[in-house]
Structure formats: C-alpha cells, structure tokens
Amino acid sequence: MKKPETTGLPELYKRYVDAVEYDDLIPALIKSGNESLELFRSIPEASADYRYAEGKWSIREVINHMMDAERVFSYRALTFSRGDTTELPGFDENGWAVEANASNRRLYKLIEEYANLRASTVDLFSSFSQEMLERSGAANGVSMKVVTLGYLIAGHEAHHRKVLVERYFEGS
C-alpha cells in the first residue's frame, strides 16, 4: 500500500497526497487519525463555534466536513474495490455543511464519531488486497485508484488540521 503516483490528478488532489508523510497507507491513516484526535481533544467546548472570519465554517463544522469527506472517499474506494464501474458524483461540501446539523451537536460527540469513523476507515483499507487497491474508477469526472483515495483521506485531513491550527487557534 505504497503512496501512489499523482500523474493525471487535479492539483488539489496532488497536494493532498503529497501532504501525507508516510509511504505506507495504513500507518498514514492511523497517524493522521491520532494527530486529529489529539488536536480535537484539546479544543474546549466553548470554542467549538469559533469562526476565524465571517462566512467561514465553525470548528464543529470543519470537523464534520472532515468526516463527510472521509465517508465519501471511503465509499468511492469501496465501490471501485468491488469492480463497480459506475461513475460516482461529486458532492457540494458547502451545501452539505449547511445541512449537517453540526452546530447542534456536542463537540465531544463529534470527536467520538470521528474516532469510530477512522477506525472503520482503517479496517476498510486493511481489508483490501493489493489487486483491489490497484483498481480504479471515476468520481466527479476524475479517475483514480483505490489506494489514492486512502491517501486523499489522510491528506485532506492534514490540510484541515493545518487550517485549524493556523487560522482558528492562533486567532482564538
């Protein structure tokens, strides 16, 4: 489960894959998950609705978005791993954020849900054979391998951890 080539991927996805420090997927997902949990657990409940600027997501909404994206990428990986050639749609992250009900949820419950989700994601990717990891499919007009989706999960998460630290915590 080594880091995949990013040739042919949109620049945004390349940046996410490149942001992953580990070359082996499962340790990358575990390390990334642990780093996120450590960060999330350091946030006081009273700060969960903080936004660094007007119109930006709250901390709660960022965490919920991270989980939404992980679920979407995991579903794509599951679909492609099973040899399903159906092209999958994209998703409107901003539209989903509005409908997610994150502001009415306790921060500790979001963190608990995140921990459970990451454990499930690690189990899913651990279950794939090398052949399954090499399978590919298309989503939102972009073709990619199953293994790439795993690295997108870890890299997308690293991106949002960085945003939280630089834009939310330094200003709060």
pLDDT over threshold 80, residue 1 = no
Residue-wise pLDDT for 19-59, tens only, equals 999 999 999 999 999 999 999 999 999 999 999 999 999 99
Looking at residue 7, its pLDDT comes to 87
The Cα 63–Cα 112 span in angstroms is 11
Looking at residue 98, its pLDDT comes to 92
Residue-wise pLDDT for 110-140, tens only, equals 999 999 999 999 999 999 999 999 999 999 9
Looking at residue 171, its pLDDT comes to 52
Q: pTM, whole model, 2 decimals?
A: 0.95
Q: Which of 8-22, 54-68, 91-105, 158-172 has the lowest mean pLDDT?
A: 158-172
Percent of the chain at pLDDT above 90? 92
Q: Give me the torsion for CA of 137, 143, 67, 28, rounded to 10°.
A: 90
The Cα 65–Cα 170 span in angstroms is 21
The Cα 48–Cα 45 span in angstroms is 5
The Cα 77–Cα 125 span in angstroms is 8
Looking at residue 64, its pLDDT comes to 98
| Domain spans of the chain, in order of start | 11-169
Percent of the chain at pLDDT above 70? 99
Domain 11-169: give its CATH code. Answer: 1.20.120.450
**Nearest-5° angle of CA 77, CA 15, CA 51?**
95
Looking at residue 131, its pLDDT comes to 97
